[in-house]
A and B are shown apart, each in its own frame.
Chain A
């Protein structure tokens, strides 16, 4: 039981490049989330998916798109990366009792 996994762990992009961050969970959870974490700002919600086939915007969705590929997988895409998107990205899933389980994170640098 791996919990929540994310790939890649590290990534460096040039401004304007695109990439997709992958997330998968094996806990059969319905809800999945993407957050970004910047120094001194806690965790901010980018997008979430309440169930397979649905996605909704969070607090900071601009510049991102998501796909809930199936119940296990929820990907985050940056179409044209900007330096302001330099951050640590966490995927999470939510259990029946409400608790969130986080993946190990992706450290993204945009130059």
Chain B
């Protein structure tokens, strides 16, 4: 089955700097990769996702890159702000094959003012 690893487990950056979180997956057939942000005491919320037919996707200050050959994908946050502080989870899934999403263990991002 699929296994998703996520690094680092904690990340502290200064406000305005960039943050990068990396996930690796084991199932080469996985083709859908979402990222979720979870603020303290709140539910996970989808912030960006990418499918395996593209290598990069951007949404304002957030971008995700995918390297299918190396089986890893990364979340990039530029110009970080204090409100970006949260736990970020990556996940992997094979579209149209079962229903299981496999999540990484999460990265706690702290943006220091």
The proximity string for A residues 92-105 relative to B, scoring 1 for CB distances below 8 Å and 0 otherwise, is 00100011111111
Provide the main secondary structure of the chain B interface.
loop
Asked whether A100 lies within 8 Å of B89 as measured between CB atoms, the reply is no
Question: Shortest distance in angstroms between B2's beta carbon and chain A's nearest beta carbon?
Answer: 10
Asked whether B34 lies within 8 Å of A31 as measured between CB atoms, the reply is no
Asked whether B43 lies within 8 Å of A102 as measured between CB atoms, the reply is yes
How many positions in chain B have a CB within 8 Å of any CB in the partner chain?
20
The proximity string for B residues 40-73 relative to A, scoring 1 for CB distances below 8 Å and 0 otherwise, is 0011111001000000000000000000000000
Least CB separation from B106: chain A residue:
A42
The proximity string for B residues 90-113 relative to A, scoring 1 for CB distances below 8 Å and 0 otherwise, is 000101000111011110000000
Q: Which residues of A contact B45 (CB under 8 A)?
A: 102
Q: Which residues of B contact A99 (CB under 8 A)?
A: 34, 46, 49
The interface-forming segment of A15-23, A43-51, A60-68, A75-83 is A43-51
Could you list 14 further interchain pairs (A-B, Cβ under 8 angstroms) beyond the known A59-B100, A102-B43, A102-B45?
Answer: A40-B106, A42-B103, A42-B104, A42-B105, A43-B44, A45-B100, A48-B99, A48-B100, A56-B99, A58-B100, A98-B93, A98-B95, A104-B42, A104-B43
